[in-house]
Amino acid sequence: MPNHRLVAVPILLAGLLACAQSDPLASRVQAELARRGQLTDQYQAELAALRVRADAGDAEAQLGVAEIYFTGKGVDVDHAEAASWFRRAAEADNAEAQYRLGLLLDFGIGAPKQPAEAAIWYERAAGQGHLKAQTQLASMLDLGRGIPRDGAEAARWFRAAAEQGDVSAQSALATKLALGDGMVADPVEAFRWYQAAAAQGSAMDQYNLGFSYEQGAGVARDTFEAERWYRQAAEQGLADAQFALGTLYAQADGLQHDLMEAYKWTFIAARGGYPGALRSLQVLRRQLPVRDRDDAEALAQDWMLRHASPGLPAGAAAP
């Protein structure tokens, strides 16, 4: 029996060639097929050149070969082959390959899941200053994910990554300093790291900074600064900050006392499902004249329409 599946391809190409002069769509398809063929030839030539260097022990070339097999750039995706090449480069002390091999072993991609070995490779890369390896290792140690939990080691690697400017590490380190987890509690240093993460736009750390100012934790108490940072986080859609801002405005002895603003932000937090916000809103309803309450609700509704899909930077809530 003839193999119709194999015959179909040249028949299709012949048809496209015949129609190309008169059919713009067929012409574009033909051009795209030619472009892809050229790219495949180019990628395979690149792979062949890399393989020569990789087989000779060049770690950067080994990393390049691993990346090609991992992404399927001109070849079929082969995670097991990628893992083999990442390992060769990692054993040659390439930090990026050590990190990438750690990821494959951590999540069981192209190799059996082996978190303990993943941590070893993360640590080797982290020791060379690899930022992502530092944060992955710190997270594993902090959570006890696949390896024994070690708060002090987690703090050490979070600090290394934080000093390189990683916002999630700055946030985690600040919270560990505030709690005294794996280190002596230091609210002053915790405040400084919250400050660093907040300056990078982390909504949760803007909230944490506002909380620090409101409570006088690690810094002199300043409700104006608390309001400023709560508002920045609230405008990003963080319900913790929205409720805190509403509560700050509701305080009868506060310089920011403003029941309409309190109602607006508490209403927004309640709509977001924040625990306790609905109960606070009911208290505020009894304190506001109907007209002011309606105006505050209208302001809240307008805000919610303008912030229908807020994006929240990562961070950890302060204690």
Assess whether pLDDT exceeds 70 at residue 14.
no
pLDDT band for 318, please (50, 70, 90 cuts): very low
Per CATH, the number for 166-319 is 1.25.40.10
Q: Which amino acid is at 284?
A: L
Neighbours of 119 (CB within 10 A): 22
Residue 77: DSSP 8-state: -
Highest mean pLDDT among 7-11, 36-40, 301-305: 301-305
DSSP-derived secondary structure letter, 3: -
Rounded distance between C-alpha atoms, residue 265 and residue 277, angstroms: 9
Which two tokens mark 233?
Answer: 């986080």
Residue 59: pLDDT band by 50, 70, 90 thresholds?
A: very high
81 in Cβ contact with 112 (< 8 Å): no
* Model confidence at 23: pLDDT above 80: no
Mean pLDDT of 283-301: 95
- pLDDT at residue 313 in the model: 42
- Per residue in 166-221, pLDDT tens? 999 999 999 999 999 989 999 999 999 999 999 999 999 999 999 999 999 999 99
Model confidence at 165, pLDDT cuts 50, 70, 90, reads very high
Please give the class, per CATH, of domain 56-164: mainly alpha
* Cα dihedral sign, 289-290-292-296: positive
Residue 232 has pLDDT above 80, yes or no: yes
| E runs forming strands in 162-279 | none
Domain boundaries, the chain: 56-164, 166-319
Among candidate residues 216, 164, 226, 172, the one with its CA nearest the CA of residue 194: 172
Most distant CA atoms of the chain, gap in Å: 92
